[in-house]
Amino acid sequence: MRHLIRPLTTAARPFTSPHTYRRWAYLVIGGALLTPFATAALVLATLVTGTGTAQNPPGPAGWLLALALTLAALAATARIPGVATAQHQLARALLRGPLDRLPDTPPTPGARAALWLCLHTLTGMAVCLITMTGLTESALLAVAPLVGDPYTVSQGPFTLLGHGPLTPAQRLAGPLLGLALLAALTAAVALTGHLLSLPAPRLLGPSPARLLADAQARARTLAERNRLARELHDSLGHALSVVTLQAATAARLLDSDPEFARQALTHIADQARTATADLDHALGILREDTPAPTAPPPDLTDLDHLAATADHTGTPLHLTLNGDPRTVPALLSRETYRIAQQALTNALTHAPGHPLDLTLHITPRHLRLNARNPLPRRTPLTRRRTGGRGITGMQERAHLLGGTLTAGPDPGADPPHWTLDLTLNWKDTDTP
């Protein structure tokens, strides 16, 4: 039973789909737009050729001239500012189809917009003519059993039932023929609308150059958003991890060691100010009207401050520095600092209280950063269950800089350790 219903459903789809009637209206609008252009062009063509009377009707030359004048007027109209946009919006609202899958970017006035306007109006005029003829004939066929003489219903003869008086069989067959004609008209309009929707993306959609420019702009925007997400994740995540640990320590030692609690609160205030500065820096990039931040973002020269911050959380950071961080290009220095900061944040989150060994080796064209901390035997209760973007963000930073980063447990260490290794190279020390 299902294999019989499915073909019937498919055959009835053009008659039940709202697309058919929206496209029908779109085509009729095209025919209405063509009417004044065609009328004016036909009048001019008859004046030029000296035809247009009952004794001298327009010949092939007159009709070709009228068609050429109509197309020229349509092409000129398509170049008026706003016409291409209106055609684009009207097609997206009524014609729809493949055009809906493209960005809502109207075409620029030009040859493609002119070609679409000509195609829309000429196809629409043809649909208007068959609509007027088909609907009239269908109505006359439907009322055939009710009238005695077809000439009392229309000014012309019944095309499908002949020119003579109707027989009883013709009167009974009239409504069936009218329904069949209406169905054929609807199917023809549905097919015409579907065929017209196929070239719409190429003629009404953005040009290939515009699509490429939009794709590049979206890629730049996405890359900038990802960079800002990494900045906020690393800076604010680190600050919040430090503040959380220091606040918990201050609360625990407030009575027994008030001096240490006071120092912890001082460091919490420092971290809050640092996080605010990083947030202002990120928001300044997002908002074009915001003045550029005066304070530069931290880089490898600030590793000593990072180590001091870690010590106040109860997680000692042992920093080993070989080489001069000032010789590292500025971009690489900032990004490497963020990776080191995220490594410390991970250690504070997953292994609080365990020491972190941070080793940075710098040569004129190369640096290597190694972070290593023991893994706790038992998962701490304060471990966060959400997140997990830290390592991914560090790997993205390393990849964008042309480096490599690996992170994971060291299976050969006893006790087990977590190890992060970053390698970066650059061509020369003059890289900005």
Helix (H, G, I), strand (E, B) or coil at 50: coil
Run of H or E residues at 30:
helix 18-49
Pick the more confident residue, 283 or 75: 75
Q: Is the pLDDT of residue 38 over 80?
A: yes
Question: How far is the C-alpha of 409 from the C-alpha of 418, rounded, in Å?
Answer: 4
**H helix and E strand count, the chain:** 12, 5
Ranges assigned E (strand) in 220-340: 317-322
Biggest CA–CA distance in the chain, Å, is 118
Average pLDDT over residues 408-419: 80
Whether the bond between 415 and the residue before it is cis, its omega within 30 degrees of 0, is: yes
Q: How much is the pLDDT for 227?
A: 65
Tell whether 73 is covered by a domain.
yes
DSSP-assigned beta bridge partners for residue 73: none
Q: How much is the pLDDT for 387?
A: 46
**Lowest mean pLDDT across 41-45, 290-294, 296-300, 395-399:** 290-294
Q: How much is the pLDDT for 154?
A: 46
Q: What is the DSSP letter of 98?
A: G
Helix (H, G, I), strand (E, B) or coil at 361: strand
Q: What is the DSSP letter of 296?
A: P
| Same domain? 261 vs 183 | no
Residue range 337-346, pLDDT digits in tens: 888 888 888 8
Q: Is the pLDDT of residue 298 over 80?
A: yes
> Where is the domain boundary, 189, 206, 223?
206
Least Cα distance to 101 among 27, 209, 220, 202 occurs for: 202
Tell whether 308 is covered by a domain.
yes
DSSP-assigned beta bridge partners for residue 358: 319, 371
In sign, the C-alpha dihedral spanning 404, 409, 410, 413 is positive
| Same domain? 234 vs 199 | no
Say if residue 342 is exposed, middle or buried (CB neighbours under 10 Å; 0-12, 13-18, 19+). buried
Domain CATH code at residue 226: 3.30.565.10
Question: How far is the C-alpha of 96 from the C-alpha of 211, rounded, in Å?
Answer: 19
Please give the torsion angle defined by the CA atoms of residues 73, 78, 80 and 86, in that order, rounded to the nearest 10 degrees. Answer: 130
> Where is the domain boundary, 206, 223, 249?
206
| Same domain? 334 vs 361 | yes
Q: How much is the pLDDT for 377?
A: 66
For residues 88-116, one letter each, b for 16 or more C-beta atoms within 10 angstroms of the residue's C-beta and e for the rest, the string is beebbebbbbebeebeeebbebeebbbbb
| Same domain? 182 vs 256 | no
| Same domain? 254 vs 115 | no
- Give phi and psi for 404, each to the nearest 5: -130, 145
Average pLDDT over residues 53-66: 80
Least Cα distance to 368 among 322, 327, 432, 418 occurs for: 322
| Same domain? 112 vs 55 | yes
Q: CB neighbours (10 Å) of residue 15?
A: 13
| Same domain? 228 vs 194 | no
Q: Is the pLDDT of residue 122 over 90?
A: yes
In sign, the C-alpha dihedral spanning 27, 29, 35, 36 is negative
- Average pLDDT across the chain, whole number: 79
Tell whether 2 is covered by a domain.
no
Q: How much is the pLDDT for 253?
A: 72
| Same domain? 314 vs 352 | yes
Angle, in degrees to the nearest 10, between helices 330-350 and 303-311: 10
Helices marked H in 55-110: 60-78, 83-90
Question: What is the pLDDT confidence band of residue 105, given thresholds at 50, 70 and 90?
Answer: confident
Residue range 146-184, pLDDT digits in tens: 876 654 444 444 566 666 677 778 778 888 888 998 999
Q: How much is the pLDDT for 351?
A: 80
Tell whether 431 is covered by a domain.
no
Question: What is the pLDDT confidence band of residue 280, given thresholds at 50, 70 and 90?
Answer: low
Tell whether 369 is covered by a domain.
yes
Q: Is the pLDDT of residue 65 over 80?
A: yes
Tell whether 7 is covered by a domain.
no
Average pLDDT over residues 214-221: 68
Question: What is the pLDDT confidence band of residue 245, given thresholds at 50, 70 and 90?
Answer: low
Contact 340, 358 (CB under 8 A): yes
Q: How much is the pLDDT for 382?
A: 40
Q: How much is the pLDDT for 130?
A: 93
Hey, what are 173's tokens? 């067959």
Tell me the HSE value of 380 on the side-chain side, using a 13 A CA sphere: 14
Q: Rg of the Cα trace of the chain?
A: 38
| Same domain? 193 vs 220 | no
> Where is the domain boundary, 206, 237, 253?
206
For residues 320-330, one letter each, b for 16 or more C-beta atoms within 10 angstroms of the residue's C-beta and e for the rest, the string is eeebebeebbe
Average pLDDT over residues 59-83: 90
Contact 34, 122 (CB under 8 A): yes
Which structural domain range is residue 339 located in? 214-425
What is the DSSP pairing of strand 417-425 with strand 404-410? antiparallel
Q: Which amino acid is at 232?
A: L
Residue range 348-378, pLDDT digits in tens: 788 877 888 999 999 988 999 999 988 876 5
Tell whether 106 is covered by a domain.
yes
| Same domain? 221 vs 193 | no
What is the DSSP pairing of strand 356-363 with strand 317-322? parallel
Tell whether 368 is covered by a domain.
yes
What is the DSSP pairing of strand 366-374 with strand 417-425? antiparallel
- Give phi and psi for 356, each to the nearest 5: -120, 125
Contact 23, 94 (CB under 8 A): yes
State in Å, rounded, how far the first CA of the chain is from the last one. Answer: 74
Domain total for the chain? 2
| Same domain? 187 vs 53 | yes
| Same domain? 164 vs 57 | yes
What percent of the chain shows pLDDT beyond 90? 23
